[in-house]
Structure 1
Amino acid sequence: MDVDAIIIGAGACGLMCAVQAGYLGKRVILLEKSDKPGAKILISGGGRCNYTNLFATDEQFISNNKHFSKSAFTQWTVEDTISFFETYGISGKEKTLGQLFPDGKNAKDIVAAFTNICEDFGQQIICDAQVSEIEQTAAGFEVRFDRGNKSRSLKAPKLVITTGGLPIPKMGATDFALRFARKHDLKIIETAPALVPLTITGKDEDWYAQLSGNSVFCEVSNDRISFEENILFTHWGLSGPAILQISSYWKRGEEINIDLLPRQNILELIEEERKANGKLMLSTLFNRIYPKKFTDAMAKFLPIEKQVASLTKTELELIQKTIHLFKVKPAGDKGYDKAEVMRGGIDTNELSSKTLECKSIPGLFFGGECVDVTGWLGGYNFQWAWANGYVIAQNI
């Protein structure tokens, strides 16, 4: 078949690449191992799809080369993403912290936009395609794949690998890109689950479990970064936006700090109550700030059944430290089953930042999650995927 490129992986990056190639009059074929394209798009944001972030810049991404993403984001901006989707009837509605969701639509509409455009341009998407072998030829690449009981092969001068990362195996996640890269001696930055809940074991395990389902607005930090959002207590530890964010910067064995009242000072609140009503119980004050279950649980650490007027200097110091510097040492994380993205991946030094072409294998491109660029929670990783798809399409 006479095509300009074969794209392996019909996720966010692969679909955008096919569409942008179509605008340029280029013909591509997408091979997808799942039974439908955009599987991870469809489950993102609980099916609502937080498809970009108004504040996305290269600053919200983790990589061994923090400058690598700048070129892609210069070539394809957040405004480009918004305009692209608006052209196809999908306008954005900001939820919080710049997160854009389709207004009145959902993830299915996002995927449908791509598949409809692909159909208009004659870009073929072949699902249930299990790639078995890739061979470099004098004219480019030959890709062999199995579909049902039949084996087929395709040839093209350019090859694009956008097969994502390791999270959510049940949705078809695969290490295909990493295996292919290793086979061709490309360097891989160590991978790990990112944007993932953290687990607590040991003597404090039951304390966290009893709070399961309770959410508290906090500032979560380590010595490298901090995030101010909600945390969610679970039967196995901690989740919620702030925890998912910090997990991308957490390494096993490290502590994280939690400020349980980031925008106020607990001692100032206590002092105000002492002046107004010294007989007020500390638990009553806490119940104005936190869920009752959380207040009750704090009895393990604090004298919550004392009147604020009778709190000693030592007790006040303990309250200050507990509320504003609550230390947690997670045992681990929930792994790729619960992670939203993968940290690490193909070393950016192996790729051109301007084109995403592999330096040592001309005509080969990698994009999206399999590359060592990992964004924050809140639409950032989709923005990276869209930008990659656009950049690669210009160069295939």
Structure 2
Amino acid sequence: MSTNLTKQTHFDAIIIGAGACGLMCAVQAGYLGKRVLVLEKNEQPGAKILISGGGRCNYTNLYASAQQFISQNEHFCKSAFAQWSVEDTISFFETYGITGHEKTLGQLFPVSNKAKDVVQVFTGLCEDFGQEIWCGTEVTDVISADNGFEISVIRNGRNVSLTTEKVVVAAGGLPIPKMGATDLGLRIARKFGLKITETAPALVPLTITGKDQPWYEQLSGNSIFCRVWNDRISFEENILFTHWGLSGPAILQISSYWRPGEFIYIDLLPHQDIVDLIQQEREVNGKKMLLNFMSGLFTRKFAEALSDKLPSDKNLASLTKTELENIGALIHEFKVKPAGDKGYDKAEVMRGGVSADELSSKTLEAKKVPGLFFGGECVDVTGWLGGYNFQWAWASGFVIAQNI
């Protein structure tokens, strides 16, 4: 039988969530001589850090700036990044033995390629500073109380009520429910009357259904370097065909800017003009079949799949002007209308969250609720793929620590 216990805490703040933002906040508070308690539902801290980048943890990006983030207020994250820069992240981790190496497009990974090394920096520092982390602790409610807040938790099968002057909500977003992700951060915000910017899965594979699905299914496993775009943005990286649609870095990137019912466009041969290449080849070998020519540019399997949409049984010399134009349009403006996305189970992050209008950009404190702070993924700041979201988590954790 559970019992109700009330505990007046001797902590300067209670942090909900031992993810990237919460752990950085706890450590930075420790540097300032502040004691915090971190509450974590999972049995260990940093669960999402541990699986990020395939267990290697792409912990920042050399090119991170406000431009790579989606928010209803595009200027909101600038203050946090001014206070805690990419250079600060790199320096912080180097101080504790983690050197970064760049893979592609500014993505920094630990030289060890071990995400657990990143988590151990934080758990070690929390221990040094005397910061407490309660794992296996579920937060069930946060309410206003005299001189602050009362937090209800279930710990070791018992109901415990904690009081504190300041609360930091770093509870993450909705992706990967099997790892304990919930809407706790959003529920707390709503309870205190804060607006929520509409949420959706982001950095997520896109699905193709209906008559087009078999075409994609036959190409499952094929990866091609492309430019993917819509009327908002474009990305140049690999796409991956799957039995249910499209994935790969370029697709994950564009998914954050895609809305149901819209088209996306794919340039299957960026930096080259397919019509020019055909004209050049047919001057040398006009008898070459279009299928064989395409097989020299793509995998044979992909060239054969394109045959469904091209006059592949013709040789290059016999292609008409209209056919060349159609080939150019197909290769450089391949049109896709996704049916949907793979949802929070497969999403890297959540788009939307606690509205930026509700928070001070300088402190991340709720304007209407003194002492209540929000950071990390539950805030309406969503970065690109490639370490950007970690940079926001570190920066927001740092900023909050200065103000609790």
Alignment counterpart, residue 133 of structure 2, candidates 115, 125, 133? 125
2:384 is aligned to: 376
Per-residue deviation, 1:151: 2.1
Per-residue deviation, 1:133: 2.4
Alignment counterpart, residue 23 of structure 1, candidates 26, 31, 40? 31
* 2: CA distance, partners of 1:384 / 1:378: 12
2:270 is aligned to: 262
2:96 is aligned to: 88
Specify the SS of the correspondent of 2:278.
helix
2:308 is aligned to: 300
Question: Higher mean Cα deviation, 274-283 or 264-273?
Answer: 274-283
* 1: CA distance, partners of 2:328 / 2:143: 63
Per-residue deviation, 1:311: 1.1
Within-5 A mapping of 1:329-340: 329-340=337-348
Within-5 A mapping of 1:52-67: 52-67=60-75
Specify the SS of the correspondent of 1:383.
helix
User: Which residue type is aligned with residue 400 of structure 2?
Assistant: I
Specify the SS of the correspondent of 1:274.
helix
User: Which residue type is aligned with residue 232 of structure 1?
Assistant: L
* 2: CA distance, partners of 1:239 / 1:205: 14
* 2: CA distance, partners of 1:4 / 1:343: 31
Per-residue deviation, 1:155: 2.2
* 2: CA distance, partners of 1:85 / 1:320: 48
1:216 aligns with 2:217: no
TM-score by length of 1: 0.99
- Check whether the contact 1:90–1:105 (CA below 8 A) recurs between aligned residues: no
1:5 aligns with 2:5: no
Aligned residues: 396
Within-5 A mapping of 1:217-296: 217-296=225-304
User: Which residue type is aligned with residue 236 of structure 2?
Assistant: E
TM-score by length of 2: 0.97
2:46 is aligned to: 38
2:173 is aligned to: 165
Alignment counterpart, residue 330 of structure 2, candidates 319, 322, 331? 322
* 2: CA distance, partners of 1:387 / 1:180: 22
1:50 aligns with 2:58: yes
State the Cα deviation string for residues 185-238 of structure 1 (Å, max 9, x = none).
110111000000000011111000000000011111111110111110000000
Unaligned runs of 5+ in 1: none
User: Which residue type is aligned with residue 29 of structure 1?
Assistant: L
- Check whether the contact 2:55–2:113 (CA below 8 A) recurs between aligned residues: no
- Identical amino acids, percent of aligned pairs: 71
Unaligned runs of 5+ in 2: 1-8
* 1: CA distance, partners of 2:393 / 2:280: 50
2:108 is aligned to: 100
1:137 is aligned to: 145
Per-residue deviation, 1:148: 2.2
Specify the SS of the correspondent of 1:143.
strand
User: Which residue type is aligned with residue 207 of structure 2?
Assistant: T
Which consecutive aligned stretches of 4+ in structure 1 deviate over 6 angstroms post-superposition?
none
2:157 is aligned to: 149
1:72 is aligned to: 80
Per-residue deviation, 1:89: 0.6
User: Which residue type is aligned with residue 322 of structure 1?
Assistant: L
CA RMSD of aligned residues (A): 0.9
